[in-house]
A and B are shown apart, each in its own frame.
Chain A
Amino acid sequence: MFIGYFTERPYQDPRSGYFGATGRSITDLTMSNASYDPKLGAQLYNRYLDEKIYAEEMGFDGLMLNEHHSTPFCMGGVMNLEAAILARITNRAKIVLLGNILPIWDDPLFLAEELAEIDMISQGRLVTGWVRGTGRESVAHNAVAPYNWERFQEAHDFIIDAWTRPGPFRWEGEHYHFRYVNPWARPYQEPHPPIWIPGVMSRNTVAWAAEKRYPYVMLATELEPTKESYGYYTDVAKEHGYETGTQHRGYLFKVHVDETEELAEQAGRKYVQGPSNPFLEGNQGVVRPFIQNLPGLTQRNNLLPTMRSFAAAASRGRAAQHRKENKKAKEQPKPKKFDTYTDQTNKYSIISGTPKSVIPKVKHVLETLRPGSIFFWDGDGAMSHEDSMRSLRLMGSDVIPAVREIADELELKGPFEVDPKTNKPIVDTDEANSTDNPSSHPSG
């Protein structure tokens, strides 16, 4: 089992009025950066980096970062920069990028170089993940929405070539053109860093990931639709002649641990009290469908079962289609109330409690989905540094050891134990090497 830690790194500004239990909601892509305070930004960036260092100390296997643009709910616009810093200031945990938004890169050679450098500085700890991005990202970086999928695939092929094919060579593609591909930086890992694909609802992407045997990480989707989406991955895998295992399945979910149930509820409620985040159920703000669902961004009729989860659908501006799908599936005759903390705790969307109450719920998730890698999404919304640190400490002392035992019982093997490409066990040579490598931490 691979256990990672994630927070979306919200821009938390209590003075903004868009914050806290009584905060106003934000209409996506309408908030001016005139209200951005770089001094506050400086504190927050450093806070989130400090928390990542502590997460490593507490035993997490991976430190997950993500990327969004022109929005206060995620400060990771330049995720690779944070990853490069983590590469230097941490020394054991994998740096998991889920993910770079390939279609918005007009120069993917730059991305290939950046990721190779991160992999080298971290001495082979990079897990790279690639996404297509939402409409927000296409708007923010003005990437032509209808070519999103084509550009994603071509940029992927190009970066793999740039990493693995001896240069110099030419690339004359449909969307990318390079007359001299010969990056003077190659990844530390051979043939290249592992690639994991995160997602929410595009069937195209799941099929593509399954075809390439890339682990697929479902991002905070509800349990049953997630299970069905894994099923779709498995079906595609069978068509390509292999069986899937736990190493192909990843899952991100909201978990907060605290010293008492009261504190846990207090902090857990803060998930939905930060700046509006279309991906944080209960505090999604106003998502404008015509932007999230830009023309040609994804095929209207090729969506995963997660479409039936209102939160996932709404984050993509597909609430109307969600209602239609729901009607078709005859799941619920009436729209359900989704926006309360209690609703989410009841359906395992938020797990918040003491270690004693959290561990059985995490176990339920593991039994239901059987993922080989999981990520605890914590420290988000309006949670303070203190909230995050208390949770991290208890995760380290109680939850992570217990989850490892449960994972062993359930035989949940992660992608560093069983190779998703071959389904064969991976012989761990890192431990032997790590004693030769004490200088990877600056304090060395």
Chain B
Amino acid sequence: MQSSVEFEQLQIAIPSGDVAYIVAGRGKPVVYLHHSWGSPGALPFHHNLVALGLRTIVPDLPGWGGSHRPAWARDVRDIAILVGCVIDALKLGPVTLIGSGFGGYIATELATMSPSRMSSLILIGAVGLYPEEGEILDQMMLSHRQYIQESFRDLQTYIDHFGEEPEPEIRTLWDLSREMTARVSWKPYMHNRRLKHLLPGVSCPVLIVQGESDKVVPCSVATQSESLLPNSRLEVVPNAGHLVEFEEPKLVSDLVHDHIRNL
């Protein structure tokens, strides 16, 4: 099923500076917002989306990767506002936003403040809510390698993706991404206690995907999201870690496709 189409690398100007993104495919647009540690490029999951007939856009979040850093940004909401600017600048109209981990936090914030930009929302292992049970794993207290390793269901899956020793470019990506993450989400770490009061106002269809064995984000966050979002559905993926779309690209892209097809 995976597409062999090359993703095009482009840039778009928004008020905070240029935003780098990759894009491929035709059809309904979906925008994927990456994890806190940056976007390593087009993933098998993204190629699957293209193959399923979706125009797939993967920006480097403002401040991450090849996108200009908004040094003034102090809050995850600042980044969410800028992602809204990206959607407008690309003239995407109401769009399906897929947010993974920290990207899910941004997508959620944007959904609460700008519902007209969104036709639907897909949250994969998303942070944002304060967990009623458990704690969100604190990357600041772990080495990059430890943190990413913990994000996979097991060590072998990590090695399959990044090798025994990650490439220097990847280590640099992790390092710079962590700095940007700290700038907007050092404290409170990866959550916003105001969000639970706003989620009931998000009326678009929401698919929540959670790895059953997620060691980064407690499953309670996903169940809380499901109970707060009025038009949501939770899919728990068995034997999957935090990086569900890395580990189970076909399963997750099929879930996305089904979700969008039923809109």
Contact = CB atoms under 8 A, between A and B. Distances in A.
B186 interface: yes
Contacts of A142: 186-187
Interface stretch (A123-131, A237-245, A291-299): A291-299
Interface string B146-183: 00000000000000000000000000000100110111
A144 B181 CA distance: 11
B251 interface: no
A144 B180 CA distance: 11
Contact of A290 (B142, B183, B186, B187): B142
Given A144-B183, A144-B186, A146-B183, A295 B178 contact: yes
B143 A289 contact: yes
Interface residues of B, number: 13
Contact of B181 (A139, A288, A290, A295): A295
A294 B143 CA distance: 10
B180 to A, nearest CB: 8
Interface in A247-292: 288-291
B140 interface: yes
A1 interface: no
A126 B142 CA distance: 39
B141 interface: yes
A146 B143 contact: no
A322 B139 CA distance: 24
Nearest to B182: A295
A86 interface: no
Contacts of B141: 139, 290-291
The SS class assigned to the B binding surface is helix
A206 interface: no
B257 interface: no
A286 to B, nearest CB: 13
For A147, A289, A290, A295, which residue has the most chain B Cβ atoms within 10 angstroms?
A295
B250 interface: no
B183 A296 contact: yes
Contacts, number: 36
B144 interface: yes
Contacts of B183: 144, 146-147, 296
Interface string B69-98: 000000000000000000000000000000
Contacts of A289: 143
Nearest to A29: B141
B142 A145 contact: no
Interface in B227-253: none
Given A139-B140, A290-B143, A296 B187 contact: no
Contacts of A294: 140, 182
B172 to A, nearest CB: 10
Contact of B144 (A145, A146, A290, A291): A290
Residue from B140, B178, B183 whose CB has the most chain A CB atoms within 10 Å: B140
B182 A296 contact: yes
Given A139-B140, A145-B182, A290-B143, A295 B187 contact: no
Contact of A296 (B143, B144, B179): B179
Nearest to B179: A295
B143 A144 contact: no
A275 B12 CA distance: 54
A147 B71 CA distance: 10
Contacts of A146: 179, 182-183, 186
Nearest to A288: B143
Interface in A118-146: 139, 142, 144-146
Nearest to A30: B141
18 contacts: A139-B140, A142-B186, A142-B187, A144-B182, A144-B186, A144-B187, A146-B183, A146-B186, A288-B143, A290-B140, A290-B141, A290-B142, A290-B143, A290-B144, A294-B140, A294-B182, A295-B175, A295-B181
Which 6 pairs between the two chains have the least Cβ-Cβ distance?
Answer: A295-B179, A296-B179, A144-B186, A295-B178, A295-B182, A290-B143
Given A144-B182, A294-B182, A295-B140, 4 more contacts: A145-B140, A290-B140, A290-B142, A296-B183
